[in-house]
Amino acid sequence: MIAAHFYRKLAGSGRAGGRLRRALGRNFALLAMLIGALGSTVLRPRTLTACRSSSAFFVSTGVSSIRRWQSAVPGRAYPPRPTQAKAVAVPAAAETDNTVVSRLPSTLADIYALSEQELCGFLQDTLHQPKYRAKQVHAWLYQRGAASFEEMSDLPKSLRLGLAEHFKLGCLEVAFEQVSKDGTVKRAYRLADGQLIEAVLMPYEDGRRTACISSQAGCAMGCVFCQTGQMGFARQLTESEIFEQALLFSRDLTKGGERLSNVVFMGEGEPLNNRRQVFGAVRRLNADLGIGARHITVSTVGLAPRIRDLADAVDDPEGEGALLSQIKVAVSLHATRDAERTAIMPVNRRFPIAELMAACQYYVQRTNRRLSFEWALISGQNDSPQVANELGRLLSPLKGKCHVNVINVNPTTGFEGQPGSKAAMDRFLNILNEDWGIPATMRVRRGLDINAGCGQLKNELLGRELSTKGLAATPPRSPEASSE
C-alpha cells in the first residue's frame, strides 16, 4: 500500500506520470517501496504537525489522522486559521483514550433528557404510578435540586428504586472546579465521549446569579484572542448537554437557598451554529428552571443570516417565536473596519461589517428589541479615540436600540494583544456615551485569578493530560464540521 501510494504520489496520475512510471518500470516500484519503508520507520505521527507540507508523512498515520491533517491545511477550510494564533491540540474524541473508555456511558438513560410529558408517560406506563407523581419527580429534578433519587424523600421507596434502576441523573462529570476570590465558579465538565467543556457561574452583588455556558465543544470560528478559538472545533453539544450545565449550577444554588437568574451563551462555541440544540436548551431553561427569556442571552460572532432568522421569529408568536423573539442577542464586534476585524475574527470574511450591520438593523426593526454589542478592548489596536468615534458612527443608525459592553481583552497564551489601560477605557466609554449618545458600559472581568476566560481552564487541563499521557498535539478538525 505504501509503495502504491508513493508510486501515485511521485509519478502522478497524469500523462507525464505515466511516462515516468513506464520509464522506470519495475525499478520504480522497488524505489517506492524502499522510500515507503523508510518513511514508516523514521517519520512518526508526532512529527506530522511540525511538517505539514510534506505529503510523505501520510505514510506514517492512520486514515483519520490523514483526514484531520487535510482539514488543517491552510486554504482548505473556512474560516482560515488566523496567523497570529497558534493551533493548540484538541484531543480526538475518545476512541484511543483508555481513561475515556472506562467512562463510557452506562446503559441507564439520562432522566434530564426526558420532557415532562415523557417522564409522565414513563411513570404511568412502566412504573404504574399515578399521574401526579410526574409533577413530584419533576419538581425534585428542577426546582428542589435533588442530586440523587434517594434524596426525593416524599416519594415511596419502591418508586425511588424503580427510577434508579432505569435512569441516571445527567451525563456531565465535573472534571475540575475552581472558585475565584470574587465568588466566580469555573468548571470543566467531562462529557460521555471524553470531550471537555467549560461553564462559569458568576454571582453579582445585586443578587443576579448568571451561568455562562457552552454550546459546542471547542469552536470553529477561530477568533484569535480567544483560547477556545485557538483550540479548534470538536463537536456540537446536544440540547441535554447544554441544559445540564446550567441545571448543575441551579441545583447547587437551590441548596444554598438561591436561584439561578440569568444564562448567557458565551462559553465555548458559536450558539447560532448549533441552533436546534441551543434553542431546545433555551426552551428547557425557561420551562424547567423558570428562567425568563429576557434573562437569557445568546452571543454571536456575527452570523448575519442567523441574526435575520432570529428577527423573523416574530412571525411565529404562537409557537417557538414567542420565546425566541424575547431572548437577548449580543453581537461580538471588536473592530470597525473589515481588514482589522478579519485579522482578529476570520468570520468577517464571510459576513463583513456592512452585511452584519444590515442584519442588526433588520433585527431591531422587526423585533423592536435592543441589541448588545461586545467590544474586547485591546491595547493599541481598538482602544483609541479615533476607533471610538468610528464605532459611534457605525452604531448611530441603531441609536436608542443598542448598548455596547466594553471589556478588557483576557490575555491568552496564543495571542499577543494586551488589555487597554484604565485611561483608554474611560476615554473610549466617554466618547460613546457623551459624544454619540450610545450607551456603553464597562464589563468587569471576573474570575481573573482562576483563568475564567473562555477556553483557558480547558486549555490548561488538556495541556496537563496530554503531557502526562505523552500524547502528541492533534490538529483541529475541519471547521465545516461545526455547521448544523
Query: Which residues in this chain contact ligand SF4 in the complex, by CB under 6 A?
Result: 219, 221-223, 226, 228-229, 268-270, 301, 454
**Residues 6 or more apart whose Cβ sits within 8 Å of residue 257:** none
Please, are residues 462 and 272 in contact by the beta-carbon 8 Å criterion?
no
Q: For residues 119 and 196, which CB has a smaller minimum distance to ligand SF4 in the complex?
A: 196
Q: Which of 120, 171, 198, 244 is flagged as catalytic?
A: 198
Alpha carbon separation from 51 to 69, 74, 388 (Å, rounded): 11, 13, 43
Say whether 320 is catalytic.
Answer: no
Reference 90, options 415, 471, 453, 409; nearest CA is: 471
Q: For residues 152 and 223, which CB has a smaller minimum distance to ligand SF4 in the complex?
A: 223
In whole angstroms, how close is the CB of 340 to ligand SF4 at the nearest point?
A: 16
CB burial readout 202-223, b (16+ within 10 A) else e: bbeeeeebbbbbbbbbbbbbbb
Q: For residues 301 and 378, which CB has a smaller minimum distance to ligand SF4 in the complex?
A: 301
Torsion of CA 451, 83, 406, 457, to 10 degrees: -10
- CA atoms 79, 454, 189, 143: torsion sign: negative
Q: Which of 120, 219, 226, 454 is flagged as catalytic?
A: 454
Burial class (CB in 10 A: 0-12, 13-18, 19+), 243: buried
In whole angstroms, how close is the CB of 343 to ligand SF4 at the nearest point?
A: 14
Would you call 234 helix, strand, or coil by DSSP?
Answer: strand
In whole angstroms, how close is the CB of 289 to ligand SF4 at the nearest point?
A: 23
Q: For residues 163 and 264, which CB has a smaller minimum distance to ligand SF4 in the complex?
A: 264
In whole angstroms, how close is the CB of 228 to ligand SF4 at the nearest point?
A: 4
In whole angstroms, how close is the CB of 89 to ligand SF4 at the nearest point?
A: 16
Strands 440-442 and 402-408: parallel
Joined together, the cell numbers standing for residue 161 give 428504586
Strands 402-408 and 371-377: parallel
Say whether 212 is catalytic.
Answer: no
Q: For residues 81 and 251, which CB has a smaller minimum distance to ligand SF4 in the complex?
A: 81
Q: Which positions are catalytic?
A: 198, 454
